[in-house]
Chains A and B, each alone.
Chain A
Amino acid sequence: MKILVPVKRVVDANVKVRVAADQSGIDLSNVKMAMNPFCEIAVEEAVRLKEKGVADEVIAVTVGSEKCQEQLRTAMALGADRSIWVEADDDIEPLAIAKLLKALVEKESPDLVILGKQSIDGDNNQVGQMLGALCNMPQGTFAFNLKIENGRAIVSREVDGGEQVVSLSLPAIVTTDLRLNEPRYAKLPDIMKAKKKPLESLIPADLGVSVTKSLKVLNVREPEGRKAGVIVNSAEELLDKLRNEAKVIQ
């Protein structure tokens, strides 16, 4: 079984981003970048399936500018066997990414594509589902448990009211939620080994995809900030304030 894992380079989850002064976007100069946390979970899940003997090859892919190759090296240090970099602008839209991934799915014929549920920069939560539609594959989104049984993927999903289980024919799309697993850290020898693993590079034209945009960002601004209020000294004072000042409880 072959698993394709799309990963994205994003601002590190611990960074508090700043809006650029001209409101054109986020100021990314000198900001720490990392693999999207949900993609780390996707890589980990794929590697665990390989370690269990369920999968025999894990391929990491990313779409983006040259620097994104760092995240492919990370994925290979974590256990991916090889990787594919599709060179493109960093701000292309989820649909275009899904189209590029579809072309790679056709090229590689994976049995499973495991993606993050959401990139923490754009907070889109779209690419996996879009890829499912484009490839006419079933999807198990927001997965917290994944089993491969009798040629099907059994996915336990986080839903609003609790949990849901679906059974999917293969090939299938799975998107990861935080509870699916806890990603390992790459060890130094693995980081060294990853440098020698194959990294193929392509451009959208190689895949027959033309990248277009249909959304225009008119501006990006900071939300109205909240100010710290007052510190109260006791539970009693707190209740008094809530009742008589804020008037939010009886």
Chain B
Amino acid sequence: MSVLVIAEHDNHTLGAQTANVISAAAQIDSDIHVLVAGQNCRAVAEQIMAYEGVTRVLVADNHAYCNQLPEVISLLVMEIAGDHAAILSAASASGKNLMPRIAALLDVAQISDIISVESADTFVRPIYAGNALATVQSSDSVKIITVRTSAFESVAQNDSQAEIVDLDSIISQDLSEFVGESLSTTERPELNSASVVISGGRGLGSAENFQILENIADKLGAAIGASRAAVDAGYVGNELQVGQTGKIVAPNLYIAVGISGAIQHLAGMKDSKVIVAINNDPEAPIFQVADYGLVADLFEALPELETLL
């Protein structure tokens, strides 16, 4: 039986995480269908066609799906769910918002945030902020899964072309209405997929001081991240938060500056390949997970780094 992946997109561009979800899906079954629900989203379907393993791209293109509200997309998925052994999405804000609704309508469990596929019915997922890994087996007829994309390579593209199938059913609802959004625009790489991330914490002291991080990020081609404390203090927007309740990242290089290393922060970055910590408190727990620690005042160390880069 095939598996269904819910594509992440903004009606124009496919989100980078979808390629990682496809590679998780491929470990469950080789026949992969991808759903693109949106408005004027044909271009997204075309971007997906060439991904290895994808045999069919289902396109639901209608004003009703424009903002991808979960109340309506869950009902749309219900119409095609019967044909699939598993339905997967990224464990992103939109995946987390949507997938449990689908699971409940199908009367099955959801397996959140998987980091490994052991077999078609057995998966590994972190619990307790990543302090434990649970291997769970599902007896449900259809598995509803969100994927921690940092744990899966993204799937390659090849010459094969999946077929595009239009879904014409139109589902409408008047429970919820999209009012607006404000999305940050940045020239930097996406936090989720950047190979270098430099994050600042409460130690930065102000929004202005994040500029010092920006300068270094520019030189390293890095994405900027932050601890919850820095977000709470209003230094940066919440979309930069790394941790148990923020984004999970696993770059080649993670530089934590003025971050103490609370369990909840570590949950979001401890699978990074190389971790650097810069902190003036030698006892800070972040040093226990850092490959390279620099005990220093960040206001001295950062400008020095910038000059040396």
Residues on A facing B (Cβ under 8 Å): 11, 13-14, 16-17, 19, 26, 93-95, 98, 117-118, 120-134, 136-142, 144, 154, 157-169, 172, 177-179, 214-223, 226, 228-236, 238-239, 241-242, 246, 248-249
Contact = CB atoms under 8 A, between A and B. Distances in A.
A167 B69 CA distance: 11
A26 B275 contact: no
B239 A126 contact: no
Contact of A223 (B133, B252, B296): B133
Interface string B85-102: 000000011101111111
Contacts of B69: 166
B100 A94 contact: yes
Contacts of A144: 238
Contacts of A166: 69, 176-179
Contacts of A131: 104
A133 B74 contact: yes
Interface in B201-247: 220, 228, 231-232, 237-239, 244-245, 247
Interface string B155-186: 00000000000000000001111111111100
Given A125-B96, A215-B137, A238-B294, A223 B289 contact: no
Contact of A167 (B135, B140, B176, B238): B176
11 contacts: A19-B131, A120-B129, A123-B128, A130-B101, A141-B97, A162-B238, A216-B138, A226-B288, A228-B287, A230-B291, A242-B292
A139 B102 CA distance: 13
Given A138-B175, A242-B274, 15 more contacts: A126-B103, A129-B70, A133-B101, A142-B93, A158-B93, A161-B239, A163-B182, A168-B175, A177-B238, A179-B231, A222-B131, A229-B292, A235-B294, A236-B304, A248-B253
Nearest to A171: B175
A134 B220 CA distance: 48
A231 B245 CA distance: 29
A125 B305 contact: no
Contact of B253 (A26, A179, A242): A242
Contact of B127 (A136, A154, A220, A229): A220
Contacts of A142: 93, 96-97
A250 to B, nearest CB: 9
Contacts of B253: 242, 246, 248-249
Interface of B: 69-71, 74, 92-94, 96-105, 107-113, 122, 126-140, 174-184, 192, 196, 220, 228, 231-232, 237-239, 244-245, 247, 252-253, 263-264, 270, 273-276, 282, 287-296, 301, 304-305, 308-309
Contacts of B180: 164-165
A93 B138 CA distance: 12
B291 A139 contact: no
- Leading 6 A-B pairs by shortest Cβ distance: A129-B100, A138-B175, A229-B291, A138-B176, A130-B104, A161-B183
B109 A214 contact: yes
Contacts of A162: 181-184, 237-239
A231 B127 contact: no
Nearest to B130: A223
A134 B287 CA distance: 46
Contact of A120 (B128, B275, B276): B128
Contact of B97 (A129, A137, A215): A129
Given A123-B113, A138-B176, A248-B274, A239 B132 contact: no
Contacts of B244: 120, 123
A11 B101 contact: no
A246 B100 contact: no
Nearest to A131: B104
A92 B149 CA distance: 27
Contact of A16 (B100, B131, B270, B274): B131
Contact of B128 (A121, A161, A232): A121
Contacts of B138: 214-216
| A14, A26, A123, A127: most-surrounded residue (chain B CB, <10 A) | A123
Contacts of B192: 160
A229 B111 contact: no
Nearest to B232: A179
A177 B245 contact: yes
A234 to B, nearest CB: 8
A125 B175 CA distance: 21
A231 B107 CA distance: 52
B133 A220 contact: yes
Contacts of B291: 229-230, 246
B129 A123 contact: yes
Contact of B100 (A26, A133, A248): A133
